[in-house]
Amino acid sequence: MHFDIVTIFPQFFDGPFRFGVLGRALESGRVQLGIHSLREFTDDRHKTVDDRPFGGGEGMVLKPEPLFRAVESLGIPEKTVRDTARERVVLLSAQGIRFNQKLAREMAGLERVVFLCGRYEGVDERVSDFLADMEISIGDYVLSGGELAAAVVIDAIARLLPGVLGNKQSARNESFGSDEALSPATVQGDPPLSTCDSLGLLDYPHYTRPPQFRGYSVPAVLSCGNHEEIRRWRRERALAKTLRNRPELLAEGDLSDEDRRVLKRLQDEQ
Ligand code: SAM
């Protein structure tokens, strides 16, 4: 999969993509990344990317021309003829649709995504209307620029791509995971190794050595060797944590009859 980022701060990305899973994916070529300086697409001596807002008001607004030129330079077709099942232009914006794991899964099926990072008061609206295919927000708060948001979205998508995570099942077992957690090509012929898929809930709690730490013990059930008991305990803990921290996920989660019984008991205990 190929990602492009258009930004006024290309050096911003020197760090975030060098490490861990994403760093290895880039090194191996499974993921490709192009960072493009917006100022290279200006046509004045001062490389001006922003201007004052029409109608008055605070701050400066990113001009449309450099952003349009940047996208055109990448060989991306015009919005009206673009095949958005293969390639998309995304404007990072606090006014966008909220990014989540479902959208990450959907976007992992694309071949190329171009991210446009806003700054200042935002971006001339013609970019959203006539250049970008979608506006994405990473949460209900305002950042100073789209760069952090682009890094977040790319990280979440890239780890769902075939071969990027070491263990093929990992994405399925994580928080918000589902049977579609990996691309169909990866899952085909691979029945779940774990019986603890999160199926839309938060992940279950994890523990490692030492079994005793400052008087805090690892739950005994995890050392009992009974896989069915461990599965039941993990599912119950995933339900309990989801109920405590993100109850709204329970309405959309893939709950079995057993889950509903456990949930009822947990709610009664509250
Ligand atoms: N005036 C804008 C508003 O109130 O919606 C905020 C502009 S913000 C200071 C500058 C840029 O940061 C935006 O153009 C966008 O690219 C990025 N940004 C800010 N918050 C974001 C969020 N929650 N998700 C994604 N991008 C965000």
Asked whether the beta carbons of 222 and 209 are under 8 A apart, the reply is no
CA of 75 to the centre of ligand 1 (A): 26
CA of 118 to the centre of ligand 1 (A): 7
Select from 50, 92, 123, 147 the residue to mutate for testing ligand 1; criterion: most ligand atoms less than 8 Å from CB: 92
The pLDDT score that the predictor gives to residue 171 is 77
Helical axes 146-158 vs 20-28, angle rounded to 10°: 70
Select from 142, 147, 148, 153 the residue to mutate for testing ligand 1; criterion: most ligand atoms less than 8 Å from CB: 142
The pLDDT score that the predictor gives to residue 179 is 58
Question: pLDDT tens track of the chain, all 270 residues?
Answer: 999 999 999 999 999 999 999 999 999 999 999 999 999 999 999 999 999 999 999 999 999 999 999 999 999 999 999 999 999 999 999 999 999 999 999 999 999 999 999 999 999 999 999 999 999 999 999 999 999 999 999 999 999 999 999 765 577 778 888 755 444 434 443 433 344 677 889 999 999 999 999 999 999 999 999 999 999 999 999 999 999 999 999 998 889 999 999 999 999 999
Q: Where are the alpha helices (DSSP H) in 159-205?
A: 170-173, 184-187
Residues with CB under 6 A from ligand 1: 92-95, 117-119, 121-123, 137-139, 141-146, 149
Domains of the chain: 2-158 (3.40.1280.10), 179-269 (1.10.1270.20)
CA of 22 to the centre of ligand 1 (A): 24
- The residue whose C-alpha atom lies closest to atom 13 belonging to ligand 1 is 118
The pLDDT score that the predictor gives to residue 110 is 98
The pLDDT score that the predictor gives to residue 174 is 87
CA atoms within 13 A on the CB side of 13: 27
CA of 99 to the centre of ligand 1 (A): 14
Asked whether the beta carbons of 61 and 50 are under 8 A apart, the reply is yes
Query: What digits encode the pLDDT tens for the residues 64-102?
Result: 999 999 999 999 999 999 999 999 999 999 999 999 999
The pLDDT score that the predictor gives to residue 195 is 42
Number of other residues whose CB lies within 10 A of the CB of residue 191? 6
Select from 6, 50, 93 the residue to mutate for testing ligand 1; criterion: most ligand atoms less than 8 Å from CB: 93
Both tokens of residue 120? Answer: 């200042």
192 upstream amide cis, omega within 30 of 0: no
CA of 137 to the centre of ligand 1 (A): 8
Give me the amino acid identity at 248.
Answer: E
The pLDDT score that the predictor gives to residue 173 is 76
Q: For ligand 1, what atom is nearest to the CA of residue 136? A: 25
CA of 151 to the centre of ligand 1 (A): 14
The pLDDT score that the predictor gives to residue 196 is 61
Asked whether the beta carbons of 177 and 47 are under 8 A apart, the reply is no
The pLDDT score that the predictor gives to residue 252 is 86
CA of 155 to the centre of ligand 1 (A): 19
The pLDDT score that the predictor gives to residue 19 is 95
